[in-house]
Amino acid sequence: MKSKFSLLIAISALALLALCAIQAYLISNTYELKKTAFFNETSNAVSEIANDRELDSLYDALIEVDLEDHLADYFNESITKRQVVERFYRNADTYNEQYMQRYEALQLQKELGYEVAYRQNLLSIVIIDYPHTDTIFPIKDNERERIFGQKFKTGISRSINYARTFDTNEFIDRRGDSISISSYDFEVRTTQEIQVPNWKSLVLRRMWVLIVGSIILFLFVIGLLYYSIKNLITQKKIAEVKTDFINNVTHELKTPLATLGIATKSLRNEAIKSNPDAFNNTLGIVERQNSRLQKLIDQVLTNSLSAEELQLNKEQVSDNVFFKNLLSDFEIATQHAHLTVLNKVYSPEVLLRIDRFHLTTALLNVLENAVKYGKDQVTVTVTTRLVNRNYCIEISDNGTGISPADQKAIFDKFYRAGNSNVHNVKGLGLGLYFTHQIITAHGGTISLKSIENEGSTFTIKLPL
């Protein structure tokens, strides 16, 4: 049974892990889809802005006017490649202020709801003079690339468009004393990049319903699994307690029933019938065993009552008198050769309003347990005192003590500490349960402190 129960918990845990993995996979896929959709939406919006006629005119002016003039000077050998690039970027910076004012105005009109940084980069400038080509840009690595737009780190940006401008330009070729009209082909390649500083939070914000729903569902499943396993453990414990209770009741009933069986057979014996003393002695055995059975049944019925079902008949009682009689009767009834009872009841008289019969039963249950689970030399100490308008009763013993695991369930119905199937200590596991119900019915509390092999202390607090 235990192995099946452990297997069930293991399977449930694996199923939960599998569910978590599937849920994480689905969320991850959704995140990628949302991210792709977000950047596609942003790219399309920025592309529409970049295709604005006014922005195109600024780009055309930079390429078709300024750059062509610089390249003509380069062909005439009046400037170098480096100077072509420097002049190109100088003109780009001049146009950039106007370019960005127009770009930002168009971006506001789009009402994206978030900031998008934009720039246009130069990839290459190549003069094509078949069958040869001449690369004007880049000359070396790590050269400036930005033509228009803002400065930001390339590593966290996204390229959205690549553009290629191919044109033929005529120029006045002055070489030596000759002047002629020449032409050349050139190609300019550019790319557009965007950067959304807080794109992750924006994507997650679009997924918040899914994320929150998944978390709630996950917590619900965990809670349901926890509740189910807890109930399963509780039901298992209840089943074990019921089994132990039936075993204990069966054991307790066997002895008087067997004795009754023998006694009734003896009463049919002619020798016993003819002997008045033997007959009366056997009849007495029948009466005692019958009384024992009746008490056992009454114990099961009475001690199963809850605090709400108890009918208390409270009366005013002197604590000194009450405990003196209680402990005296306990010592006489116990018949333990090595029992010592220490009476440390609060010396000034305190008037208690209690149900004398039920409270006596409750305290006797605790005192009898101290003897049942005690050592050869049993010492029981009863101490009382007043604490914050509460009458505190402490019953301490030097017995075997109670393990921490048993202490948690010691006041449960039918629970017996230790191995409940060992019958060297008689009982049905109802005594301390009934004690707890009686104290609760009086509006008080009962608690336990115990150390194994050193003893236990029950503390009862009754309101004055």
pLDDT surpassing 60 at residue 421: no
pLDDT at 362: 84
Amino acid type, 421: N
pLDDT at 419: 45
CB neighbours of residue 194 within 10 Å? 23
Q: Average of pLDDT values for 363-371?
A: 84
For residue 89, which of 56, 46, 137, 22 has the smallest C-alpha distance? 137
Q: Average of pLDDT values for 325-351?
A: 79
Name, of 172-186, 413-427, 434-448, the range with top average pLDDT.
Answer: 434-448
pLDDT at 300: 61
Q: Mind giving me the DSSP string for 15-75? A: HHHHHHHHHHHHHHHHHHHHHHHHHHHHHHHHHHHHT-HHHHHHHHIIIIIIIHHHHHHHH
Length of the chain equals 464
Q: Average of pLDDT values for 342-353?
A: 85
* Backbone phi, psi, residue 210, to 5°: -65, -45
What's the pLDDT tens digit per position in 281-310? 878 777 877 776 776 676 565 555 565 667
CA angle 2, 422, 396 (to 5 degrees): 105
Residues 7-14: contacts with CB under 8 Å, at least 24 apart:
8/232, 9/229, 12/225, 12/228, 12/229
- Which of these CATH numbers, 3.90.1150.180, 1.10.10.10, 3.30.565.10, 3.40.50.280, describes 315-463? 3.30.565.10
Which residues make beta-bridge pairs with 384?
393
**For the chain, what are the domain ranges?**
2-206, 208-302, 315-463
Q: Average of pLDDT values for 162-190?
A: 83
pLDDT at 112: 86
pLDDT at 238: 72
pLDDT at 424: 46
Half-sphere exposure in the Cβ direction for 309 (13 Å, CA): 8
pLDDT at 259: 74
What's the pLDDT tens digit per position in 8-25? 778 888 888 888 888 889
3-state helix, strand, coil in the chain (%, to 5): 55, 25, 20
pLDDT at 423: 42
Alpha carbons 432 and 207: distance in angstroms, whole number: 56
pLDDT at 143: 79
Alpha carbons 339 and 380: distance in angstroms, whole number: 8
What's the pLDDT tens digit per position in 187-212? 999 999 999 988 889 999 988 998 89
pLDDT surpassing 70 at residue 26: yes
Contact present, 272 and 281 (Cβ < 8 Å):
no
pLDDT at 305: 55
What's the pLDDT tens digit per position in 58-85? 999 998 888 988 888 888 888 999 999 9
Percent of the chain predicted with pLDDT > 90: 17
**Region of residue 176 (left: phi > 0; alpha: psi -120 to 50; beta: else):** left
How confident is the prediction for the chain on average, in pLDDT?
82
With H, G, I as helix, E, B as strand and everything else as coil, classify residue 275.
coil
CATH of domain 208-302: 1.10.287.130
Among 6-10, 33-37, 87-91, where is mean pLDDT lowest?
Answer: 6-10
Q: How far is CA 238 from CA 3, 54, 232, 304, 414, in A?
A: 18, 83, 10, 15, 9
pLDDT at 433: 80
pLDDT at 321: 87
pLDDT at 428: 55
pTM assigned to the model: 0.52
pLDDT at 33: 93
Find the largest Cα–Cα distance for the chain. Answer: 167
Strands (E), 305-377: 315-318, 339-344, 351-354
Q: Mind giving me the DSSP string for 65-119? A: IIIHHHHHHHHTTSS-HHHHHHHHHHHHHHHHHHHHHHHHHHHHHHT-SS--EEE
pLDDT at 83: 92
Top-confidence residue, 436 or 175? 436
pLDDT at 105: 92
Top-confidence residue, 104 or 142? 104
Half-sphere exposure in the Cβ direction for 143 (13 Å, CA): 17
